[in-house]
A and B are shown apart, each in its own frame.
Chain A
Amino acid sequence: MSTAARNRHPGINLGNTDPHTHAQAEETLFGFWVFLMSDLVLFALLFATYASMIGATDGGPGPKDVFELSSAAIETGVLLLSSLTMGMASIAMKYKEHPTRLYGWLGVTLLLGLVFLGLEAHDFVKMASEGATPQRSGWLSSFYALVSTHGLHVLAGCIWLTISIIQLAVFGLRSEVKLRIMRLSLFWHLLDVVWIFIFSVVYLGGLA
């Protein structure tokens, strides 16, 4: 029988490395999963709104006028890489590697998150300077609403990362801190899942 089969809950977990926190995580993490699913529905409706407004450019710029494949590709790469580094952070925490590793992976993830936000802000500024503001048309309104809701989530994730790093420094690897970092990693991975739909539907769908 593999150790995984004895896990009280599937998904990201602490397994037998910290049985006490692992037992607590069953309830906390399940609650967070439920929240994430609710959040996913929110994104789904923003997507549906976007899809229903694809033609509503009101004579203004359309996807082919304002999107750039290269910047979307770079953003996608950065976010995907940050998912990997977040995964490395979870492993470093679970298997109690040297603390500098955990700090390092969390720090890299934070950095990648900030780079992503910077790239996105740069895109928005550039689009706005070409006249593609949210006020221009229904399609642009729905584009900005969808993509910046994701951006706001990433920003929240970055704040959360910063707080986690501070709490690690203040409290060390207490079970409260562990549980928060586990939830953070769920949050971060799920933002990447949402981004898959954004680059596929919004950017690639618009440029294809």
Chain B
Amino acid sequence: MSAEVEEQEKKRELRSYIVGFVLAISLTALAFLVVAADLQTSTAYVVIGIAALAQVVVHFRFFLHISWQRSTRDDLQLILFTTLIIILMAGGTIWILNNLHHRMM
């Protein structure tokens, strides 16, 4: 591989980290500002939630270099399966325990 191509690739990667960092810091700032500005609680929850999910995608995309377009998909499949399991487990736990809580009070 020529040094030139390598240099290009390096620039591309560097740019990816910087872009990711800027996006991440903006999303974080947005979430914190919403709370600092004392918005209505339910609105704040929605904004914080969306910002958090967006930031997770940013981290995976720009810091961990996981994307849709690569030829090998093992890592992506793994992450999606994990997401499914986490939704089942954490969602189920919260559902069950809230249901119990509700009925015991």
Contact = CB atoms under 8 A, between A and B. Distances in A.
A199 B56 CA distance: 13
B48 A41 contact: no
A41 B52 contact: no
B78 interface: yes
A109 B103 CA distance: 49
Nearest to A76: B28
Contact of A196 (B13, B34, B56, B97): B56
Interface in A113-137: none
A-side interface size class = 35 or more
Tell me whether chain B's interface is mostly helix, strand or loop, or mixed.
helix
B55 to A, nearest CB: 5
Nearest to A87: B17
A33 B75 contact: yes
Nearest to A9: B72
B72 A10 contact: yes
Nearest to B90: A48
A197 to B, nearest CB: 6
B64 A12 contact: yes
Given A5-B71, A37-B79, A196-B55, A95 B65 contact: no
A159 interface: no
A204 B32 contact: yes
Contacts of A30: 74-75
21 contacts: A5-B70, A7-B70, A7-B71, A8-B72, A10-B70, A16-B1, A48-B89, A48-B93, A51-B90, A51-B93, A69-B36, A77-B28, A95-B6, A186-B64, A189-B63, A189-B64, A204-B32, A204-B48, A207-B35, A208-B35, A208-B44
Interface of B: 1, 5-6, 9-10, 13-14, 17-18, 20-21, 24-25, 28, 31-32, 34-36, 39, 41, 44-45, 48-49, 51-52, 55-56, 59-60, 63-67, 70-76, 78-79, 81-82, 85-86, 89-90, 93-94, 97-98, 101
